[in-house]
Amino acid sequence: MKISKLKLINFRNYETLNLEFDDGLNIIYGENGSGKSNLVEAIYLLALTKSFRLINDKLLIKKDCDLTTVEGKVVKKNDSSKFKVSITTDGKKVEIDNNKINKISEYVTKMQIIIFYPRDTELINSAPAERRRVLNIEISQIFKEYMILLSNYNKILKQRNAYLKQLYLYGNASREYLDILTRKLVEYGKRINKYRQEFINNINLKITDIYKKIFELGDLKIVYKSNFNKTEKELLDIYRKYYSKEMAVGKTLIGVHHDDFEFTLDGNKLKEWGSQGQMKNAILSFKIAEVELINEILKEYPILILDDLFSELDAKKILNILNLLDNQVQTFITTTELKSIPKEMLQKSKIFAITNGIAKEEKYE
Ligand SMILES: Nc1ncnc2c1ncn2[C@@H]1O[C@H](COP(=O)(O)OP(=O)(O)O)[C@@H](O)[C@H]1O
Ligand SMILES: [Mg+2]
């Protein structure tokens, strides 16, 4: 899929912006603080209704304004539609072709996006919750059911924790009710576990090759770590063993809310012995594998955003990436200077120069 038009009103440092993008490569360049990341953030928001920068939505509204809208025309193989996200100080609204969408799971499965930005390289060393967050976002944009399962699981988890706390405080234990909650938790958890396991298996079918083609030798793999890789019966038995422990602390000690994954290179944990460079390459390979996987499942490539990649990677490797994707993926690359970009890339790109929230299309000569 491609985003052919983007319209911003009062978004970050843009007052109004109307752009038409290239189907292939779009290069966005400008000085630090000019608004490059803001621009790709708007495209990301349009697909996933949130920023990748983990901030409060209200910060997306231009200073001293009370409403921002991001609108885009998204063209797929068989249709095109208008996506729109509006954010006010009271909340957020999302629309497709002027119809308000109430279910986020419905909206985020309509437009897929993969982003790589410098902070991503921290993923390997960050806390498990951060990796789970990334995993959840990626699977949610592919499968409608997944986000619903997550929300159901979290609801039961909350109820179960509250009940455990009550048992702990007042000791009036009804194991029957705890059993009911546990069964529900196991049911939803098993289904979440299956989605995650399959996603990671599928990524593993691609990532080793990608890593070798772009970077260097070595077998890169992702290992899914979950205490739910068991049958329902086994899980229920484990929970029963844990009941008294859980009551003592007043919370659920096992479940997919503790899942994690790790990268290994030739069987060794990257987290423990990988270099910064290897970690970055691993994450990039992960993202490219996702691009291919989304196309395989949905028969439609996602949009790819590479924010500030030239500060992270040399031009030759970036060319490798683009060639690997066979130039079929609409790609947005931000950079502070055009100098480091190879001529062959510039020639086939649309180039946008950004200065203080104003974008101008530039011809390459
Ligand atoms: N809500 C906002 N209103 C106005 N300006 C904003 C807002 N949020 C961020 N900015 C401005 O956007 C600029 C940063 O833009 P960004 O796209 O991150 O820069 P870069 O080009 O380096 O990627 C900063 O100058 C910041 O002051
Ligand atoms: Mg930036």
DSSP 65-86: -SEEEEEEEEE-SS-EEEEEEE
Give how far Cα 329 sits from Cα of 76, 246, 267, 343, Å. 12, 48, 31, 19
pLDDT at 340: 83
Ligand 1 atom closest to 38 (CA): 17
Ligand 1: residue whose CA is nearest its atom 4? 13
* Cβ of residue 37 lying under 6 Å from some atom of ligand 1: yes
pLDDT at 108: 97
Q: Give the mutation target among 29, 38, 56, 305 for probing the ligand 1 site: most ligand atoms within 8 A of CB.
A: 38
* Cβ of residue 118 lying under 6 Å from some atom of ligand 1: no
Distance in Å, CA 33 to ligand 2 centroid: 7
Ligand 1 atom closest to 30 (CA): 21
Residues pairing with 335 in the sheet: 29
* pLDDT beneath 70: ranges in the chain: 172-173
Angstrom distance (rounded) from CA 345 to CA 325: 14
* Cβ of residue 218 lying under 6 Å from some atom of ligand 1: no
pLDDT at 363: 86
Give how far Cα 18 sits from Cα of 71, 73, 91, 317, 357, Å. 9, 11, 24, 32, 12
User: Coil, strand, or helix at residue 140?
Assistant: helix
Pairing status of strand 331-335 against strand 303-306: parallel
Determine contact, residues 185/255, Cβ cutoff 8 Å: yes
Ligand 1: residue whose CA is nearest its atom 13? 33
pLDDT at 313: 86
* Cβ of residue 160 lying under 6 Å from some atom of ligand 1: no
Angstrom distance (rounded) from CA 248 to CA 252: 11
Q: Where do the domains of the chain lie, and which CATH numbers do they carry? A: 1-112+300-365 (3.40.50.300), 128-279 (1.20.1050.90)
Distance in Å, CA 131 to ligand 1 centroid: 26
Ligand 1 atom closest to 63 (CA): 3
Distance in Å, CA 81 to ligand 1 centroid: 28
Distance in Å, CA 336 to ligand 2 centroid: 9
Ligand nearest to the CA of 308: 2
Ligand 1 atom closest to 61 (CA): 1
pLDDT at 175: 82
How far separated are the first and last CA of the chain, in Å rounded? Answer: 29
pLDDT at 320: 87
pLDDT at 55: 86
pLDDT at 7: 98
Distance in Å, CA 54 to ligand 1 centroid: 15
Distance in Å, CA 34 to ligand 1 centroid: 7
Alpha helix (H) ranges present in 51-174? 104-108, 128-140, 144-170
* Cβ of residue 33 lying under 6 Å from some atom of ligand 1: yes
Distance in Å, CA 97 to ligand 2 centroid: 30
